[in-house]
Chain A
Amino acid sequence: NAGVTQTPKFQVLKTGQSMTLQCAQDMNHNSMYWYRQDPGMGLRLIYYSASEGTTDKGEVPNGYNVSRLNKREFSLRLESAAPSQTSVYFCASSMGLAGGEQYFGPGTRLTVT
């Protein structure tokens, strides 16, 4: 039982390049989330998926797209990376019910030069 896994762990991009961050969970959770964490800014929600087949914008969605490929997988795509997207990205999942507990992956450290 791996929980939430993310790939890659590290990535360096040049401005304008694109990439997709992958996330998968094996806990049969309904909801999945993408966050970014920047120094002094805490965790900010980029996009979330309440259930398979649905996605919604979070607090900072600009410059990102997501795909909920199936119940297990939720990917985050940067179409044209910018230095402002340098951050640590976390994927999380939850049952989506009253409990609210979210379970996080180990993160992807992205640098855009």
Chain B
Amino acid sequence: DQQVKQNSPSLSVQEGRISILNCDYTNSMFDYFLWYKKYPAEGPTFLISISSIKDKNEDGRFTVFLNKSAKHLSLHIVPSQPGDSAVYFCAASANAGNNRKLIWGLGTSLAVNP
């Protein structure tokens, strides 16, 4: 049973426009959410995160929004650039003592067209 779902396998956006990547979760115990970016033949790299006590977190062109009542989060990239073309993974974790395991979505492949 997938606890973290990214229902769109792929997304195509024009350069300069907004990219919106969505993620839904089912476990109400999750209290920390992360987005990772992955280029082919490389490991995932951390992009941005949000704690469940917040509903928005910004870092430059990247903003993550969290709607706890809907168990939904989204990543906005504005403006989108061709270098943003990658697979984006949503991950979530729950407080489990002194270590956190991440539960991963299947990823959304973003293509930003020049």
A interface with B by C-beta (< 8 Å): 4, 31, 40-45, 48, 50-51, 58, 90, 92, 94, 96-107
Contact B49 A106 (CB under 8 A): no
B41–A97 touching, CB < 8 Å: no
Task: Given A31-B99, A100-B100, check contact A43 B49 (CB 8 Å).
Answer: no
Residue of B42, B46, B49 with highest tally of chain A CB at under 10 A: B46
Tell whether, in the assembled complex, residue A43 and residue B44 are in contact, meaning their CB atoms are under 8 Å apart: yes
User: Per DSSP, are chain B's interface residues mostly helix, strand or loop, or mixed?
Assistant: loop
Partner of A58, one of B49, B89, B100, B101: B101
A105 to B41, CA, bound (A): 11
Residues from chain A with Cβ under 8 Å of B97 in the complex:
50
A-B contact pairs, 15 of them (CB 8 A): A4-B43, A40-B106, A42-B89, A42-B107, A43-B104, A44-B104, A51-B99, A90-B43, A94-B100, A97-B100, A98-B95, A100-B32, A100-B93, A101-B34, A107-B41
